[in-house]
């Protein structure tokens, strides 16, 4: 590849090509996790689907490793290649809402805060993330935990169709009626099968105001609070109520360690069904009240700032017994950074009523997702914060299920953990990977290696 090749490529794009000597290079290559510091040889900042298709073909013609950046929020940093071609979708920001059909179409550079702002103009929504700066693309393709998941399932359960640029540079539409195998794989298989340039979601009625917020308890009451949280959630809560428990330092900056419950209730019986939660113990603060869905979605943003250094460990838990609670509380007290946290995301309702093989996302059960989120600011503190996340997760081994959430996986966890993220659907995903990306062009992700071409049917499908 010479300068003339790059110049011709750039001239054909509606967007632009950013090279290492460009003044914007460092800003464009950066992602949410400040620990990620990779240097692509080229960055194709795409404006439309044609740009994406051209970028894929250019990268393949010049034997460049390709990475795909959507919202840039994924903690593992696989959106950025070292020395290859980064296809940057961040400029692709359109959101189009059809309120009569209850559908929304959006491009892959959209964040959930931007998506929600458009859909809430029409009192509509679908399950999005719990952090407004999270990208629609990555969250949906890997799963989609969010405040509406009890009623409407994961974000991927609301996906109706997807426009996809394949590894050959072709453009197809995947849905139940067209390329149904690809559509199945996209819903939980991550970025393994192509670059989604347009997502179409089913929307649901959702008034802008609901009841939600946080209840803060003294850290000395953490064990009792987590036991109550377990008993309350396992007794069967309504779909309209979504809860997360956590141990962290108070987000007001006071430095006070707290045990908290985050709550969102989108139903008509919110006051009554939240009453037991609010009556428990002697909280330091009950901050549950009327809140807009958009503000709820942004409630955690300040505590998870762009540029902070991150390292996560996460696994699903089908039950939460007292011994596991003891390990979690002890893990919090060993935490080296006061900006880290431990979370238990409760999963129930519509998520668990889907067959594990109906979409590529296989983890359909009532239970919890445990996340140890190490977050700090100084590079010199990398080793001890990473060790804390690993050691805390390892101490919980006996209490964890075999499954893990692909959106929370780091890039150093090994093949067994990646297989665990896809569960019973892994082999089928390998066969579809062989159909649509037999050369594993899209491998900077939680990678699914293609099955042998002879077993899977060889070339990419044309219909």
CATH code at 175?
3.30.465.10
* 189 and 217 co-located in one domain: no
pLDDT of amino acid 293: 97
* 192 and 264 co-located in one domain: no
* 148 and 291 co-located in one domain: no
Q: Is the pLDDT of residue 26 over 90?
A: yes
* 170 and 229 co-located in one domain: no
| 43, 70, 88 - which closes a domain | 88
Measuring CA to CA, which residue among 339, 272, 327 is closest to residue 34?
A: 339
pLDDT of amino acid 212: 97
8 Å CB contact between 159 and 199 = yes
pLDDT bracket for residue 244 (50, 70, 90): very high
- Count of domains forming the chain: 3
Burial of 292 (0-12, 13-18, 19+ CB in 10 A): middle
Measuring CA to CA, which residue among 253, 237, 245 is closest to residue 217?
A: 245
Q: Is residue 426 part of a domain?
A: no
* 117 and 248 co-located in one domain: no
> What's the pLDDT tens digit per position in 53-62?
999 999 999 9
CATH code at 287?
3.40.462.20
Helix (H, G, I), strand (E, B) or coil at 356: coil
The rounded Cα 112 to chain-centroid distance in angstroms is 11
DSSP 143-211: ----TTHHHH--GGGGEEEEEEE-TTS-EEEEESSSSHHHHHHHTTSGGGS-EEEEEEEE-EE--SEEE
| 46, 64, 88 - which closes a domain | 88
Alpha carbon distance 313, 404 (integer Å): 9
Percentage with pLDDT > 70 across the chain: 98
pLDDT of amino acid 459: 42
For residues 18-28, average pLDDT = 97
3-state percent breakdown (helix, strand, coil) of the chain, nearest 5: 35, 25, 40
Find where tokens 């290559």 sit.
29
Q: Is the pLDDT of residue 4 over 60?
A: yes
* 298 and 388 co-located in one domain: yes
> What's the pLDDT tens digit per position in 86-131?
999 999 999 999 999 999 999 999 999 999 999 999 999 999 989 9
pLDDT bracket for residue 1 (50, 70, 90): confident
Q: Is residue 233 part of a domain?
A: yes
* 263 and 383 co-located in one domain: yes
pLDDT bracket for residue 463 (50, 70, 90): very low
Q: Is residue 81 part of a domain?
A: yes
> Taking each helix axis from N to C terminus, what angle separates 382-395 and 322-333, rounded to the nearest 10 degrees?
170
| 88, 106, 132 - which closes a domain | 88
In the numeric block, which tokens belong to residue 426? 């892994």
pLDDT of amino acid 457: 44
List, in order, residues 6 or more apart from 247 with CB less than 8 Å away.
219, 222, 257, 258, 259, 260, 328, 329, 332, 341, 342
In the numeric block, which tokens belong to residue 125? 């929504």
Burial letters for 239-269: b for 16+ Cβ neighbours within 10 Å, e otherwise?
Answer: bbbbbbbbbbbbbeeeeebbbbbbbbbbeee
In the numeric block, which tokens belong to residue 9? 């490529």
Could you tell me which residue, 1 or 107, shows the higher pLDDT? 107
- 3-state SS string for 269-283: CHHHHHHHHHHCCCC
* Beta strands at 85-88 and 66-69: parallel, antiparallel or unpaired: parallel
pLDDT of amino acid 452: 83
Alpha carbon distance 118, 103 (integer Å): 12
CATH code at 20?
3.30.43.10
Domain of residue 242 covers: 210-418
* 198 and 219 co-located in one domain: no
Q: Is residue 181 part of a domain?
A: yes
Percentage with pLDDT > 90 across the chain: 96
> What's the pLDDT tens digit per position in 360-396?
999 999 999 999 999 999 999 999 999 999 999 999 9
Measuring CA to CA, which residue among 279, 313, 274 is closest to residue 393?
A: 313
Alpha carbon distance 408, 313 (integer Å): 7
* 256 and 344 co-located in one domain: yes
> What's the pLDDT tens digit per position in 191-239?
999 999 999 999 999 999 999 999 999 999 999 999 999 999 999 999 9
The rounded Cα 96 to chain-centroid distance in angstroms is 22
> What's the pLDDT tens digit per position in 247-288?
999 999 999 999 999 999 999 999 999 999 999 999 999 999
Alpha carbon distance 171, 284 (integer Å): 55
Burial letters for 444-463: b for 16+ Cβ neighbours within 10 Å, e otherwise?
Answer: bbbbbebbeeeebeeebeee
Q: Is residue 351 part of a domain?
A: yes
Alpha carbon distance 285, 386 (integer Å): 31
Q: Is residue 225 part of a domain?
A: yes
Q: Is the pLDDT of residue 456 over 90?
A: no
> What's the pLDDT tens digit per position in 398-415?
999 999 999 999 999 999
* 183 and 220 co-located in one domain: no
Q: How many CB atoms lie within 10 A of CB 379?
A: 11
Q: Is residue 434 part of a domain?
A: no
> What's the pLDDT tens digit per position in 42-80?
999 999 999 999 999 999 999 999 999 999 999 999 999
* 241 and 176 co-located in one domain: no
Q: Is residue 429 part of a domain?
A: no
pLDDT of amino acid 132: 96
* 271 and 402 co-located in one domain: yes
Question: How many contiguous H segments (helices) and E segments (strands) does the chain have?
Answer: 15, 19
Helix (H, G, I), strand (E, B) or coil at 398: helix
Q: Is the pLDDT of residue 455 over 60?
A: no
């Amino acid at each position: 590849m010479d300068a003339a090749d790059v110049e011709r490529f750039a001239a054909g794009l509606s967007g632009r090509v950013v090279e290492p000597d460009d003044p914007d290079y460092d800003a464009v290559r950066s992602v949410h996790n400040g620990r990620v510091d990779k240097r692509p040889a080229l960055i194709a900042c795409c404006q439309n689907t044609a740009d994406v298709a051209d970028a894929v073909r250019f990268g393949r013609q010049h034997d460049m490793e390709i990475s795909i950046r959507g919202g840039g929020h994924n903690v593992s940093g696989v959106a950025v290649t070292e020395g290859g071609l980064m296809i940057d979708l961040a400029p692709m920001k359109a959101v189009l809402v059809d309120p009569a059909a209850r559908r929304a179409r959006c491009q892959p550079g959209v964040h959930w805060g931007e998506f929600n702002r458009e859909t809430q103009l029409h009192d509509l929504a679908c399950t999005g993330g719990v952090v407004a700066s999270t990208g629609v693309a990555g969250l949906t393709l890997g799963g989609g935990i969010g405040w509406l998941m009890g009623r409407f399932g994961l974000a991927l359960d609301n996906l109706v169709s997807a426009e996809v640029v394949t590894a050959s540079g072709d453009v197809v539409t995947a849905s139940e009626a067209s390329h149904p195998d690809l559509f199945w794989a996209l819903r939980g298989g991550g970025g393994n099968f192509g670059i989604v340039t347009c997502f179409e979601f089913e929307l649901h009625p959702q008034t802008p105001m609901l009841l939600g917020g946080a209840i803060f308890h003294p850290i000395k009451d953490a064990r009792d609070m987590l036991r109550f949280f377990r008993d309350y959630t396992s007794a069967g809560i309504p779909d309209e109520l979504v809860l997360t428990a956590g141990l962290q330092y108070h987000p007001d900056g006071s430095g006070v360690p707290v045990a908290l419950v985050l709550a969102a209730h989108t139903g008509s019986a919110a006051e009554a069904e939240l009453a037991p939660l609010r009556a428990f113990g002697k909280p330091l603060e009950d901050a549950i009240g009327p809140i807009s869905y958009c503000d709820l979605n942004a409630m955690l943003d300040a505590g998870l700032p762009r540029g902070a250094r991150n390292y996560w460990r996460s696994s699903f838990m089908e039950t939460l017994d007292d011994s596991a609670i003891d390990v979690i509380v002890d893990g919090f007290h060993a935490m080296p950074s006061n900006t880290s946290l431990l979370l238990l995301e409760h999963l129930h309702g519509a998520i668990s009523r889907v067959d594990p093989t109906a979409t590529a996302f296989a983890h359909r059960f009532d239970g919890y997702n445990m996340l140890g989120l190490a977050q700090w600011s100084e590079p010199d503190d990398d080793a001890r914060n990473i060790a804390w996340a690993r050691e805390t997760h390892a101490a919980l081994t006996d209490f964890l299920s075999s499954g893990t959430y692909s959106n929370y996986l780091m890039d150093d966890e090994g093949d067994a953990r990646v297989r665990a993220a896809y569960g019973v659907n892994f082999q089928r995903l390998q066969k579809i990977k062989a159909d649509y990306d037999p050369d594993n062009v899209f491998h900077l992700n939680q990678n699914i290696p293609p099955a042998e071409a002879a077993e899977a049917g060889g070339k990419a499908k044309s219909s």
